[in-house]
Structure 1
Amino acid sequence: MDTGHAPISHSAHVFRTVLTHDADELARNLTDWEQCYDQMTAGAFHGALSELRLPRMQVFREEISQSVRQTCRVWPDALWFGFPAQGHGIRINGRPLDDGAVMVRPGGSEFELLTPSSHAIYGMVVCRGMLAQAALRSACAIDWDRMQKAEVLRVDPEARMACMEAVASALALGGSHEGSGGTLPAGTEHHLMAALLGALDCSGIEPEAAQSFQRRQRVVARVRDYIMAHRDQPLTVPDLCAIAHVSRRTLQYCFEDVLGMSPTLYLRRVRLNGVRRQLQDPAARREPIGAVAAAWGFGSFSQFSSDYRKLFGASPSAARM
């Protein structure tokens, strides 16, 4: 997915807010990210994004009402740090996140998040060169090789809270200056960087996932890739077991351990989101809804329509309004 944006290089700040009832619209609106969101829990979707772009940093706060599976990629030569308001229920690349932990991923590398309902997260994206220079000036020792490969940081609670408060303060300042043509107070970017370095200076990088968990990740990835490559086929659990070369019990355990849901539920949710995404595509406006549903493996239109309404709280035809 091409966001149509170049990496951050603004000479002044840019602040904006987005309110939406569509997961894909929320995904598209985080500047310089490549993202795709699949809604995983049933009910009307509400999303809110507040974003502040500075010359060499991006900070934001995102709120989502439903559980969402996200595939994300940050702009190159950057590092993303994610500070969930509550860590319970979040998974990064399948790994459950404990309360108090911080997520980190390098730019240009795709990763997956599974976030729970009623979720809020603060984010900081920093040019790696800027972060390295600031760390050197502050005598903050960072293992860059391990940081590039890391997914989870164990951070001092007070330092973690200071980062979240710094982001919230910067967003509030950005909102107060929105549309005024003014600039933020001098030192805003420096204050954010100092808070981040304070957290990194007293953090530890969690070791990579155990080999057994990595094997379960590979099983899930193999099934997921097959589902997307054969989306029109009405796949069953035995089909998925044959694809992954595992037993039904092992497949169930892999999906529950990595994604927190059964393979059947995952298959249905991903396909329903695919139909919704295609129905909203202007290029597919003339395609009958039944044909779109069939192209995503739904054999019974009545069952599809019922499942769609339960997940999104609206009929399939509403996606084209």
Structure 2
Amino acid sequence: MNQSISRFQDVHMHACAVRDWNQTYSQISAGPLESSLMQLKSTHAHVFREQISQRVVQHGEAPKGKMCFAIPAAVSGTVRMQGREADANSLFVLRGGEEFMFHMPMGMDMLSITFDGELFESALEAMPSPGDIRTLLRQPVIKVPSQRLEECRDQLLALFSSALAIDAPDASDASSGTPDLERDLEREMLDGLLGLLADPTCDRNQRPGSSTQSFIVDKCHRLTVSDAANAPSVIELCQRLQISRRTVQNSFRTVAETTPVKYLRSVRLNGVRRELMATRASDLAIGDAAANWGFFHMSHFAADYQELFGELPSQTRRAGR
């Protein structure tokens, strides 16, 4: 198995280190960020645990041909996945190629497991009632009885920790394990998750709907990044969505625990930061990167950037340095 343990002070670097996922992470709450990412990659599964100190929104696409699950190890605030409200008693599900939007609170601790689709389908077919489980898996957020989820979470975390420790307790990047160990890990994790989904205490008829407030926040997010250089104002977003400013304000407060102005500005500032980190200073000036994301008043931009990330844009590490 290939394993790695990494720590970051930048959410973009963290997101880039998550293998096989096409996604962006945007830091929403202001201040220095600390994160850790522990990963195990076997032949047919990818298991990773991530802890991030600041509030973050994830936007991207699940790996094609995979079946993806996540279980929160610790939750300290509002969580929204695909517009559904979630808590510590939730199991998150994504199918390969599915676009997603996930709002993580400060201090989120998450265990994610991605299986090859064929392996998962084969294991599912061997279950007593695969059709019932397939129906349940149509939901991106599955509410599970707390005691049963806690048992499954403890089992999966123990399996992950044990596998991660094999041959490399202090490794920063190493390959270890045998084919038998890989298969045992994949099988035990599959059995744990499928056992949870097949448990009779798990409500088969749950249909948690996407909230209007989450739809508003996610729509505003997408409209902002789709034409970042000409990012619409909050008033323009209200006009496009044909809703009141108060409705927008309340939606952002509920979903992201901040104002629409601060949230959307943070998303754009993250866009500038990603551009700066991906380019050489000689190839892209800070002012041009800022303009690409709709910032034209450089002193205001620099102050907002420093407030969010704890450093000036001129201090951000550029490519090639």
Q: CA deviation at 1:154?
A: 2.3
- Show structure 1 runs of 5+ residues with no match: 1-12
- Secondary structure of 1:143's aligned partner: helix
Q: CA deviation at 1:100?
A: 1.9
Q: 2:25 matched to 1:37?
A: yes
Q: CA deviation at 1:125?
A: 0.9
Larger RCO: Structure 1 or Structure 2 (Cα < 8 Å, ≥ 6 residues apart)? 2
Under a length normalisation based on structure 1, what TM-score does the superposition of the two structures give? 0.85
Q: 2:90 matched to 1:101?
A: yes
Aligned-residue CA RMSD (Å):
2.5
Kept in 1: contact 2:70–2:111 (CA 8 A): yes
Comparing 302-311 with 234-243, greater Cα deviation is found at 234-243
Instruction: Give the direction of change, closer, same or farther, for the CA distance of 1:267–1:85 in structure 2 (3 Å limit).
Output: same
The residue aligned with 1:84 is 72
Q: 2:159 matched to 1:166?
A: yes
The residue aligned with 1:208 is 208
Amino acid of the structure 2 residue aligned with 1:269: S
Q: CA deviation at 1:174?
A: 6.8
Q: CA deviation at 1:128?
A: 2.9
Kept in 1: contact 2:2–2:176 (CA 8 A): no
User: 5 Å matches for 1:40-189?
Assistant: 40-89=28-77, 90-139=79-128, 141=130, 143=132, 145-155=134-144, 156=148, 157-173=150-166, 175-176=168-169, 179=174, 182-183=177-178, 186=181, 187-189=184-186
Alpha-carbon separation, structure 2, partners of 1:223 and 1:264: 11
Instruction: Give the direction of change, closer, same or farther, for the CA distance of 1:192–1:229 in structure 2 (3 Å limit).
Output: closer
Comparing 107-116 with 136-145, greater Cα deviation is found at 136-145
Kept in 1: contact 2:62–2:100 (CA 8 A): no
Kept in 2: contact 1:234–1:299 (CA 8 A): no
Q: CA deviation at 1:123?
A: 0.9
Kept in 2: contact 1:66–1:116 (CA 8 A): yes
- Show structure 2 runs of 5+ residues with no match: none
Kept in 2: contact 1:159–1:199 (CA 8 A): yes
Q: CA deviation at 1:50?
A: 1.2
What is the percent sequence identity of the aligned residues?
31
> For residues 259-284 of structure 1, what are the alpha-carbon distances to aligned partners after superposition, in whole Å with 9 as ceiling and x for unaligned?
33321111211111111111122266
- Secondary structure of 2:228's aligned partner: coil
Kept in 1: contact 2:2–2:175 (CA 8 A): no
Comparing 185-194 with 68-77, greater Cα deviation is found at 185-194
The residue aligned with 2:229 is 232
Comparing 264-273 with 229-238, greater Cα deviation is found at 229-238
> For residues 65-116 of structure 1, what are the alpha-carbon distances to aligned partners after superposition, in whole Å with 9 as ceiling and x for unaligned?
2111111322222211111112342221232212221111111101111112
Alpha-carbon separation, structure 2, partners of 1:100 and 1:219: 25
